Chain A
Amino acid sequence: MRPSHQNALDRWLAAERGDRPEEAEVALVELFEALPLIAPPAGFAERVLARAGIQAVRRELFASRGVRLVLASCLVAIGLGALWLPPTLRALAGIWSVSDLVRGWVQALTGAARWLASLLRLWDLLLAFGRTLTQPLALPQVTALLLACLLASSLGFRFLRDQISGERNLTYVDPV
């Protein structure tokens, strides 16, 4: 199926040849409808507005009477609050004395020290366990056995790697 603009073009040119102006006009309108408008480069509107010197209207925060009223009320409340500040501070000083603060600090330090001690006890336990495990390694038979295992696993690994790389080789041909 031919695109609509192609059909419109064909009909238009045929109508022009056949001297049928009304038909030609309709087809040409159709052809132009298939052709979209061209968008200007990005940021066109911003450039126009900049050239026109049209700046964004800055909204004055304190222009509104309501905002100013709320702000004034806040200032008054803060002022009144300041009057109550010294007695409030005195009351707080009565609740928490210096000795209470020192006692709190000491308790916190003691708790931290206990936690550290329990952690060290666990560390000692782990150390003893590790030492028990590594003691047999000092025997020559065990060392020899371990070396033999290491050698066998290396050879096995190499064998497997050769198998895999052989299958991936470009020259490899599947024998089917």
Chain B
Amino acid sequence: MKTDAELVAGALRGSQDAYRELVKRFERPVYSLVLRMVQDPAAAEDLAQEVFLKAFRRLGSYDPQWKFSSWLFKIAHNTTIDHLRRGAPETVPLEAEEDDRGGLGAVLADGSAENPHATAERRDLARSLERAIARLRPEYRQAVLMFYAHGASYQDICEVTGLPLGTVKTNLHRARKELAQTMTSLGWGPDVGTAGETGRSAAS
């Protein structure tokens, strides 16, 4: 399997296969990040496409000393933040819309290996978690998604967001607290025996 740097070099030589492989390799992380940031699948696809187009246009300026994923996430970060700053309405999705939009809830509903109760609980948890993430401020949301969902390091987040290390750590700490508060308010917690049931009723 070719490394990211080799694919970039191939793309710069004009190899269509290299471009396609780069998109295939990073479409899920980029799309997931953007979708969870903007909470709108149509806008997310447009923005994710834009991220790759910008990356391709600037591929010549990519420094192989950087991780390609960090570089790509930086573009994704700037693109989504620009989109949110342009005044795109930030909405917390309605319960009924979640299954149709192919979001986290819909993805996790595909628990083919689980029993129906576990699948339902998994779906409830995913919905609540996504809802809690959507309620975070954009900078907190970005940090949480990069750190927890995409495994980025503090340093990676600093490079992507341009924020100092202390601010990134503070943002993550506060974001985690806010997430926990929201999840608790939605009925999830260690003391709740049937969290799924409670979460479902609270979420609706």
Q: How far is the CA of A12 from the CA of B195 in the complex (A)?
A: 14
Minimum distance in angstroms from A133 CB to a CB of chain B: 67
Which chain B residues have a beta carbon within 8 Å of chain A's beta carbons? Answer: 14, 16, 19-20, 23-24, 27-29, 31-32, 35-36, 41, 44-45, 48-49, 52-53, 56, 102-104, 107-108, 114, 118, 121-122, 125-126, 129, 148-149, 173, 176-177, 179-180, 183-184, 188-190, 195
CB pair A49–B16 under 8 Å, yes or no, is yes
Which residue in chain A gives the minimum CB-CB distance to B199?
Answer: A9
Task: Knowing A25-B176, A40-B45, A57-B14 are in contact, say whether A3-B122 is a contact too (CB < 8 A).
Answer: yes
C-alpha gap A41/B108 in the complex (Å): 16
How many angstroms between the C-alpha atoms of A51 and B23 in the bound complex? 13
By the criterion CB–CB under 8 Å, are B122 and A5 in contact? yes
Q: Is the CB of A40 within 8 A of B24?
A: no
A38-72 residues at the B interface, CB under 8 angstroms = 38-41, 44-45, 47-49, 51-52, 54-57
Given contacts A28-B176, A35-B129, contact A54 B16 (CB under 8 A): yes
A160 to B85, CA, bound (A): 83
B121 touches A37 (CB 8 A): no
Q: Are A32 and B149 in contact (CB under 8 A)?
A: yes
Shortest CB–CB separation between residue A75 and chain B, in angstroms?
33
Q: Which of A12, A28, A37, A51 is B49 in contact with, Cβ under 8 Å?
A: A51
List 20 A-B residue pairs with CB atoms under 8 Å apart, sorted by A's residue number. A10-B189, A14-B190, A16-B176, A21-B173, A24-B180, A28-B148, A28-B179, A38-B28, A38-B31, A38-B32, A38-B103, A39-B27, A40-B28, A40-B45, A41-B41, A44-B27, A44-B48, A47-B49, A48-B23, A48-B52
Q: In the complex, which of the residues B14, B108, B184, B195 contacts A36, with contact meaning CB atoms closer than 8 Å?
A: B108
Q: Decide: A13 and B184 in contact? CB cutoff 8 A.
A: yes
**A29 in contact (CB, < 8 A):** yes
Contacting pair B24 A45 (CB below 8 A): yes
Nearest-CB distance from A5 to chain B (Å)? 6
A48 to B26 CA separation, bound complex (whole angstroms): 12
Q: Choose among A3, A10, A40, A41 the residue that contacts B121 (Cβ–Cβ < 8 A).
A: A3
CB closest chain-A residue, reference B106: A38
Of the candidates A14, A38, A39, A44, the one having the most CB atoms from chain B within 10 angstroms of its own CB is A38
A37 touching B29 by the CB < 8 A rule?
yes
Q: Whole-angstrom distance from the CB of B24 to the nearest CB of chain A? A: 5
Partner of B108, one of A11, A21, A24, A35: A35
Look across to chain A and name the residue whose beta carbon is closest to the beta carbon of B50: A51
Name B119's closest neighbour in chain A (CB-CB): A3
Bound CA–CA A90/B125 (angstroms): 89
Question: Which 5 A-B residue pairings sit nearest by Cβ, starting from the closest?
Answer: A40-B31, A32-B148, A16-B180, A10-B190, A45-B23
Measured between alpha carbons, how far is A9 from B103 in the docked complex, in Å? 20
Chain A residues whose C-beta falls within 8 Å of the C-beta of B190 in the assembled complex: 10-11, 13-14
Q: Does A73 contact B (CB under 8 A)?
A: no
Q: Please name all residues of chain A whose beta carbon is closer than 8 Å to the beta carbon of B28 when the two chains form the complex.
A: 37-40
Q: Is A6 an interface residue (CB 8 A)?
A: yes
Contact of A6 among B44, B103, B195 (CB under 8 A): B195
Q: Which residues of B contact A37 (CB under 8 A)?
A: 28-29, 31-32, 149
Chain A residues with CB below 8 A from B180, complex form: 12-13, 16-17, 24
Residue of B nearest to A3 (CB): B118
A56, B16: Cα distance in complex, Å: 6
Q: A38-B107, A54-B19 are in contact. List 8 more A-B contacts (CB 8 A).
A: A11-B190, A16-B180, A35-B104, A35-B108, A37-B28, A37-B31, A38-B102, A55-B16
